[in-house]
Amino acid sequence: MVRDINEEPECYELQQFLIDIKYQNKGYGYKVLKLILDYLYVERRYDNVEVCVKKEDVKAIKLYKKVGFIDTGYIDPNVEDAYNLVFCFKDLDVKIQTNRESVKI
């Protein structure tokens, strides 16, 4: 589930991203997360996607970082046992531009 955060900082918030246990560790989470980010990148109402992940959920944190999310360092006082991670579309823009420039014919 993705929701719009219309207050500062405006962004998409990824919520309740779940893969049934019998389908975990098969690459589905990675593929689906990439599809969600691709869709939001094209829609592009906001520059960032944020997600809050419990510190104990090491596999989820690894997945988010593999896709390109980074730790913001912010700790929500209401959810002190979780990391806030962010994916920045502007970082993706830079990667795309760099790739285009390296493939010039």
Instruction: Output the domain CATH number for residue 21.
Output: 3.40.630.30
| pLDDT at site 46 | 95
Q: How many domains does the chain have?
A: 1
pLDDT tens for 13-72 read 999 888 999 998 999 999 999 999 999 999 999 999 999 999 999 999 999 999 999 999
pLDDT tens for 82-91 read 999 999 999 8
How far from 50 is each of 13, 72, 89, 98, 103, CA to CA, in Å? 5, 9, 11, 24, 31
